[in-house]
Amino acid sequence: MTRKLFVQAMTKFLLGVAAVGLLIFLPAGTLRFSQGWLLMGVLFVPMFLAGLFLMARDPDRLRRRLDAREKEMTQRSVLLLSGLMFIAAFLLAGLSFRFGWLRFPYWVSVLGTVLFLLGYGLYALVLKENAYLARTVKVEAGQKLVDTGLYGLVRHPMYAATLLLFLSMPLILGSLLSFLIMLAYPCLLVRRIRNEEEVLLRELPGYEAYRRRVRWRLIPFLW
């Protein structure tokens, strides 16, 4: 563990908590938004515990997860649009609670929580299987192709996990309008994956053969 990495991780974590909290509760006009607190809990408590685990056991992997500097222009545009999508979805969730716009029944929030935790579990499994997993699209020196476990079913299981995570967020918040906004994410994901595969074909040895062997990119039998 290094002090610099700890400070970097804690700073990003606390900024994330503050940003999401403001985006949800400020437009809601109250802190008595139980579904907002539910999302904050299931999102940030596991994230904090996972960060502590990686800090102690695998700081290099944590360092990769903290690096969000994209080199590919396509990826930068996807990240920008994704950020705008999240801002709009969270703001609408707060406003929907405040004014009663198109609210889901509470059991949908419970279902969304279950789906979100399943997505977190899937994400953790992917993180365990692929030591080179990063937030940015890049190929590191000496990086090896991972083609077992979940990578033997789909080529991008991490994105499959984020699809489950992100689409369940508006369900937890109980907002139909936010859910409609988040439906833009699969489209952005398709763009990100197509660009990422161009990079992997160009820079990662064996990826062409792997792509022929594992047909599905994101969801088996669909795409």
Structure tokens at 169: 């967020």
User: Which ranges in the chain belong to alpha helices (H)?
Assistant: 3-28, 34-57, 59-66, 73-99, 106-129, 157-173, 176-182, 184-203, 207-213
Model's pTM, two decimal places?
A: 0.89
Domains of the chain, earliest start first: 3-213 (1.20.120.1630)
Residue 139 has a pLDDT of 65
pLDDT, tens digit, 9 for 90 and up, residues 84-105: 999 999 999 999 999 999 999 9
142 burial (CB, 10 Å; 0-12 / 13-18 / 19+) is exposed
Check residues 37 and 63 and name the one with the higher pLDDT: 37
